């Protein structure tokens, strides 16, 4: 197996009931790469991440993580290789500190402070009456969308996963919040493999590679600039649309 690839889909077949999503689908992601998945709803972007986490299993073909079939890992070990930042982060009625720690209950204080730093949360600490001990959620102090998503990022990085998945993590945010999350995401690109399922194309300006999905196939693969300049290209049409 090629050790340069951290994720490899080989001849993957997958259908939901009667709707085929992937038919002989192939894709490789290199270690340390930041890759955005774009395309219309139902084109296979979310299915890609769900198969990787074994929320579903492939019907044929193989998915490998660091050269090993994902079926050879325990579900726990497989999923702890990934940190996932969802479309909206659930905030529990508790302190901000405990809202982060819940992702990894045996994390040390130093681990949590590092996650806070990596999630670029420090810039809103001063607006909190009790710093990280401020109680949030369930009718207590309201956080902005960008603040919630950065708690989501802190949770995702706390267990020190090698691969981070941002699953439309900015699609519900206003522009200011989006910028804050994008900044955190871009600084995480330096030492993680990033998979970004993107709805807003503005957030993926600086990823290494963009994969354009259409009907379960990757129809374009290149950098933002390459794809933006491709005459008649699908990504270019998405930007113009």
Beta strands in 31-161 (DSSP E): 34-39, 60-65, 68-69, 82-85, 94-95, 135-136
**3-class DSSP state of 200:** coil
Average pLDDT, the chain: 93
Residue 1's pLDDT is what? 46
Spatial contact of 62 and 10, defined as CB atoms under 8 Å apart: yes
Instruction: For the full predicted model, state whether its pTM sits above 0.85.
Output: yes
Residue 2 above 80 pLDDT? Answer: no
Report the range of poorest mean pLDDT among 51-60, 83-92, 101-110, 172-181.
172-181
Residue 208 above 60 pLDDT? Answer: yes
Residue 140's pLDDT is what? 63
State the Cα–Cα distance between residues 58 and 112, nearest whole angstrom.
35
Percentage of the residues of the chain whose pLDDT score is greater than 90: 78
Residues 6+ apart with CB under 8 A from 222: 209, 210, 230
Residue 58 above 50 pLDDT? Answer: yes
Spatial contact of 49 and 195, defined as CB atoms under 8 Å apart: yes
Mean pLDDT calculated for residue range 119-125:
91
Residue 138 above 80 pLDDT? Answer: no
Residues 6+ apart with CB under 8 A from 118: 153, 154, 157, 184, 187, 188
């Amino acid at each position: 197996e090629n050790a340069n690839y951290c994720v490899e889909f080989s001849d993957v077949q997958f259908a939901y009931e009667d709707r085929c999503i992937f038919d002989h689908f192939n894709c490789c992601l290199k270690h340390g790469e930041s890759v955005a998945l774009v395309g219309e709803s139902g084109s296979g972007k979310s299915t890609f991440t769900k198969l990787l986490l074994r929320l579903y299993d492939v019907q044929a073909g193989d998915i490998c993580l660091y050269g090993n079939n994902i079926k050879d890992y325990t579900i726990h070990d497989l999923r702890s290789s990934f940190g996932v930042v969802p479309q909206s982060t659930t905030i529990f009625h508790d302190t901000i500190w405990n809202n982060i720690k819940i992702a990894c209950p045996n994390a040390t204080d130093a681990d949590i402070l590092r996650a806070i730093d990596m999630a670029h949360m420090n810039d809103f600490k001063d607006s909190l009456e009790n710093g990280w001990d401020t109680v949030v959620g369930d009718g207590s102090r309201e956080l902005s969308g960008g603040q919630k998503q950065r708690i989501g990022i802190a949770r995702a990085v706390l267990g020190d996963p090698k691969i981070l998945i941002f699953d439309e993590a900015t699609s519900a945010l206003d522009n200011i919040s989006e910028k804050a999350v994008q900044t955190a995401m871009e600084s995480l690109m330096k030492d993680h493999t990033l998979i970004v399922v993107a709805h807003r194309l503005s957030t993926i300006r600086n990823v290494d590679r963009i994969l354009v999905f259409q009907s379960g196939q990757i129809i374009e693969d290149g950098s933002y600039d390459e794809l933006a300049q491709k005459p008649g290209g699908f990504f270019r049409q998405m930007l113009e649309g």
